[in-house]
Copies of this chain bind each other. A is one copy, B any other.
Amino acid sequence: MKVTQTKLGILGGGQLGRMFIQEAINYNISIHILDPDADAPCKNICDKFEIGSLSDYQTVYDFGKNLDLITIEIEKVNIEALEDLEKEGVTVYPQPRIIRLIQDKGLQKQFFKENEIPTSPFQLFNTKQQLIDANINLPFIQKLRKDGYDGKGVKKINNTKDLENAFEQPSLIENLIDFEKEIAVIVARNEDGEIKTFPMVEMDFNPDANLVEFLISPSTYPFEIQQRAEDIAKNIASSLSFIGILAVEMFLTKDHQILVNELAPRPHNSGHQTIEGNYTSQFEQHLRAIFNLPLGDTRSITNAVMVNLLGEKGYEGLAEYEGLEEILKKDGVYIHLYGKKYTKPFRKMGHITIVDENRNLAIEKARFIKKTIKVIA
């Protein structure tokens, strides 16, 4: 597929699509976006913007039928439509069968088990009653098998009261993992089977919002651990014959076992720092992978820390940004606003990447930035 002559459709027009487009502009790619939100971040920067549901068969099918290649920036999409489009000759990367697998955290877990990918023990339940009847040792984590995202769809069940308020829908039960660090590796694979990983990164979560708010690249864990994490990611991508970019979120336990937590078959929050911090960004790498171009150099240029810019608690409405000028006084600070008109508490409104040859200085700047910048209304 000639990159400059392809009509590329993206399901979803949010920030991931937006940052992808920023790179795709370099390749003259004609981009068509489908998103339910008339004000989606990609609205004004694509060749064609269509408003419509990503989960409706007909909408997705009609959107895709005259395109050459389709990709996603969110995994909650209508798979049947993608499978039918694929049968009719439209290329869909990542492949619908993989999106289907990843949409369901239960199927993901079964896949890990079958392929000897290290992951924590789990049990699957179809209803809350089944879960109650199973009488599992407390505490544990309940995750919805489907449609959870950004910390939604996850509950910690500490006691019988929590158990009464557990999710009704099909869910996945895991023990609490006593981890030392959340880590992630992004891996890309193209049609030719070329595979490359980005260096392992470390994440700090905001316990209130359950969102990554602080990401450090590259990791300073021993080479052996990084190698192991990257090998796990490569192994998953090859086992799936995955095409595109795949984010593999993992736990590093206190005894330095690595357990795969979950997958995202698209550019991911844990790879935003690659835009400035690595020779190739995750967005360009995704582009190269789906067009079967040679994959780019994933090495880190220098230390990069990424801070998510979340809507401030207590503010809802037309977004305003406080402190932008202040943080731009520091060298190596890169602002990425997502073009979202409205803010609400914890909404991902942007991110900021800090690069510095001195890792501690980068972290210090990131702390200053977190304190200084605010999205209010």
Residues of B within 8 A of A339 (CB): 25, 28
Shortest Cβ gap from A239 to chain B (Å): 26
Cβ contact within 8 Å between A294 and B325:
yes
Q: Is residue A45 contacting chain B, with contact meaning CB distance below 8 A?
A: yes
A337 in contact with B4 given A22-B22, A25-B45, A279-B355 (CB within 8 Å): yes
Cβ contact within 8 Å between B337 and A294:
no
Q: Which segment, of A127-135, A157-165, A263-271, A328-336, faces chain B?
A: A328-336
Shortest Cβ gap from A64 to chain B (Å): 20
B3, B329, B334, B337: the one contacting A324 at CB < 8 Å is: B3
Cβ contact within 8 Å between A279 and B331:
yes
Cβ contact within 8 Å between A293 and B45:
no
Q: Is residue A27 contacting chain B, with contact meaning CB distance below 8 A?
A: yes
Residues of B within 8 A of A26 (CB): 22, 334-337
A321 in contact with B22 given A27-B337, A332-B297 (CB within 8 Å): no
Chain A 278-320 residues near chain B, CB threshold 8 A: 279, 288, 293-294, 296-297, 301-302, 319-320
Q: Is residue A210 contacting chain B, with contact meaning CB distance below 8 A?
A: no
Shortest Cβ gap from A306 to chain B (Å): 14
The total of chain A residues at the interface (CB under 8 A) is 38
Q: Is residue A107 contacting chain B, with contact meaning CB distance below 8 A?
A: no
Q: Which one of A3, A46, A338 has the highest number of Cβ atoms from chain B below 10 Å of its Cβ?
A: A3
A-B contact pairs, 6 of them (CB 8 A): A4-B320, A18-B25, A26-B337, A28-B339, A294-B325, A297-B332
Q: Is residue A358 contacting chain B, with contact meaning CB distance below 8 A?
A: no
Residues of B within 8 A of A332 (CB): 279, 297
Cβ contact within 8 Å between A296 and B328:
yes
How distant is the Cα of A314 from the Cα of B328 in the complex, in angstroms? 48
Shortest Cβ gap from A308 to chain B (Å): 15
Q: Is residue A66 contacting chain B, with contact meaning CB distance below 8 A?
A: no
Chain A 25-39 residues near chain B, CB threshold 8 A: 25-28
Shortest Cβ gap from A30 to chain B (Å): 8
Q: Is residue A44 contacting chain B, with contact meaning CB distance below 8 A?
A: yes
Residues of B within 8 A of A320 (CB): 2, 4
Q: Is residue A168 contacting chain B, with contact meaning CB distance below 8 A?
A: no
How distant is the Cα of A62 from the Cα of B332 in the complex, in angstroms? 39
Q: Is residue A47 contacting chain B, with contact meaning CB distance below 8 A?
A: yes
User: A-B pairs with the 6 shortest C-beta distances?
Assistant: A297-B331, A28-B337, A294-B329, A45-B45, A294-B328, A44-B47
Chain A 125-159 residues near chain B, CB threshold 8 A: none
Residues of B within 8 A of A294 (CB): 325, 328-329
How distant is the Cα of A2 from the Cα of B322 in the complex, in angstroms? 10
Cβ contact within 8 Å between A293 and B328:
yes
How distant is the Cα of A2 from the Cα of B323 in the complex, in angstroms? 11
How distant is the Cα of A46 from the Cα of B21 in the complex, in angstroms? 12
Residues of B within 8 A of A21 (CB): 25, 45
Residues of B within 8 A of A46 (CB): 44-45
Shortest Cβ gap from A42 to chain B (Å): 10
How distant is the Cα of A44 from the Cα of B274 in the complex, in angstroms? 26
How distant is the Cα of A364 from the Cα of B63 in the complex, in angstroms? 45
Shortest Cβ gap from A16 to chain B (Å): 13
**A1-32 interface bits toward B, Cβ cutoff 8 Å, 1 = contact, 0 = none:** 01110000000000000100110011110000
Chain A 194-217 residues near chain B, CB threshold 8 A: none
How distant is the Cα of A26 from the Cα of B320 in the complex, in angstroms? 15
